[in-house]
Structure 1
Amino acid sequence: MMRTLLVVGCVFIASCTGVPDGIRPVTGLDVDRYLGTWYEVARLDHSFEEGLSRVTAEYSLMDDGSVEVVNRGYDDEEGEWSVAEGRAVFVDDRETGHLKVSFFGPFYSSYVVFELDKAGYQHAYITGYNRDYLWFLSRSPNVSEAEMSAFRERAREEGFDLRDLIVVDQSPLPDP
């Protein structure tokens, strides 16, 4: 019985760090250029981000070669900032946009960069281990309609269901 639970647990953990069928992580990733602040422009919502606006992700390189991840979002209902700190490591090599990220100890989930503006590192499309996870990140809190249309088109081509896509409010907070 214990062996069965161990096998099932290992399969579950491994499946959370995979790549959705047909999705290809970007290659030629320059980690140093990817570091810094990214704004979440759009997402498929999940409980860990539900109700959050003004979401950002800050990436910085750690001494051991992993990437520190600090996600921030404003919870309008609570009137306060929510912060989640984690650690990401490359699944293959540092030039492939497939990382596994953990916010909860030994439990990892995929972070797959499947589109990246390699010329300017100004936008990125991210998914998780399946097509229920999707993010559009940008170096700017606001993007043009053309950029949003390109994101939607690519996401549809890759098989994402965009009916529940949330465009994230990145407007400044009102004065108290």
Structure 2
Amino acid sequence: MQKFASLSIILFVCFAQTKAFSIYGFGFGTRCPTTPIIADFDQDKYLGKWYEIERIPMIFERNLQCVTAEYGKNDNGRVSVKNSGINLAANKTSMTTGEAFVPNQSEPNKLVVEFPNQILFFNVKNQGNYHVWSTDYNNYALVYSCNIYLGFIKFEAAWILSRSKDISLENSNKLKELLSSNGVKTSTLETVNQTCNN
């Protein structure tokens, strides 16, 4: 049993050195950047449709292009979430729905998003951080998510969003500078194709 555990650790460390590990948001780390608090964050202004322009590659977005996120208001006061995109490998539309909420009203730009999932016969909810680092509501938004697992495995995601299918170089550079200044490697960002017929 001890040999098996040692082998598992060795295999994990080897995998952690591969590109696949790093491009899917995983790496080694013990701390997440501190989310800047937007005290006057206006959730109503943020609602609506956003286009995904750049992202840190995520396994759940593999092969997805022309990705959009649409936010609305549910009757329970939570934010409705509808993410959709075109899976180029399968040539079909992929869509998932969920909802988001603000756990601490003094930090209104720090949301938690929930997506329903089924594992075997059990219905579960996948939760993730959805922290809006910057937005002007009308043109751009920067969203970041980070978690630490087992005390040393860091998972982070970032999305540069736009109200249109492209973004100005000025706004793109500004958001990337914000990421860089907080220790997030912008070299891992990939551009999302927004030229599909949707």
TM-score (norm: length of structure 2): 0.72
1:129 corresponds to which of 146, 157, 160: 146
Residue in structure 2 matched with residue 156 of structure 1 by the alignment: 180
State the 1:78 CA deviation.
0.6
Counterpart contact for 2:134–2:175, Cα < 8 Å: no
**Greater strand share, structure number:** 2
TM-score (norm: length of structure 1): 0.80
Name structure 2 gaps, 5 residues minimum. Answer: 1-30, 117-123, 148-154
**Equivalent AA in structure 2 for residue 68 of structure 1:** S
Whole-angstrom CA distance in 1 between matches of 2:131 and 2:107: 12
State the 1:95 CA deviation.
6.5
Aligned residue for 1:48, secondary structure, equals helix
**Greater helix share, structure number:** 2
Aligned residue for 1:55, secondary structure, equals strand
Aligned residue for 2:180, secondary structure, equals helix
Residue in structure 2 matched with residue 166 of structure 1 by the alignment: 190
Name structure 1 gaps, 5 residues minimum. Answer: 1-18
Counterpart contact for 1:100–1:111, Cα < 8 Å: yes
Aligned residue for 1:28, secondary structure, equals coil
- Aligned CA RMSD, in angstroms, stands at 2.0
Whole-angstrom CA distance in 1 between matches of 2:162 and 2:70: 12
Aligned residue for 2:146, secondary structure, equals coil
Aligned-residue identity in percent: 30
Kindly report structure 1 stretches of 4+ aligned residues shifted beyond 3 Å.
none
Q: Taking structure 1 as reference, are residues 20 and 100 closer, same or farther at Cα in structure 2, changes over 3 Å only?
A: same
Counterpart contact for 2:114–2:127, Cα < 8 Å: yes
Counterpart contact for 1:26–1:116, Cα < 8 Å: no
Match status 1:84 vs 2:96: yes
**Equivalent AA in structure 2 for residue 116 of structure 1:** T
**Equivalent AA in structure 2 for residue 126 of structure 1:** V
Match status 1:21 vs 2:40: no
Whole-angstrom CA distance in 1 between matches of 2:63 and 2:183: 25
Whole-angstrom CA distance in 1 between matches of 2:84 and 2:169: 25
State the 1:94 CA deviation.
7.9
Residue in structure 2 matched with residue 141 of structure 1 by the alignment: 165
Aligned residue for 1:129, secondary structure, equals strand
2:133 corresponds to which of 102, 109, 114: 114
Whole-angstrom CA distance in 2 between matches of 1:113 and 1:20: 15
State the 1:111 CA deviation.
0.4
Residue in structure 2 matched with residue 66 of structure 1 by the alignment: 78
Aligned residue for 2:138, secondary structure, equals coil
Whole-angstrom CA distance in 2 between matches of 1:44 and 1:161: 9
Counterpart contact for 1:125–1:136, Cα < 8 Å: yes
Counterpart contact for 2:140–2:167, Cα < 8 Å: no
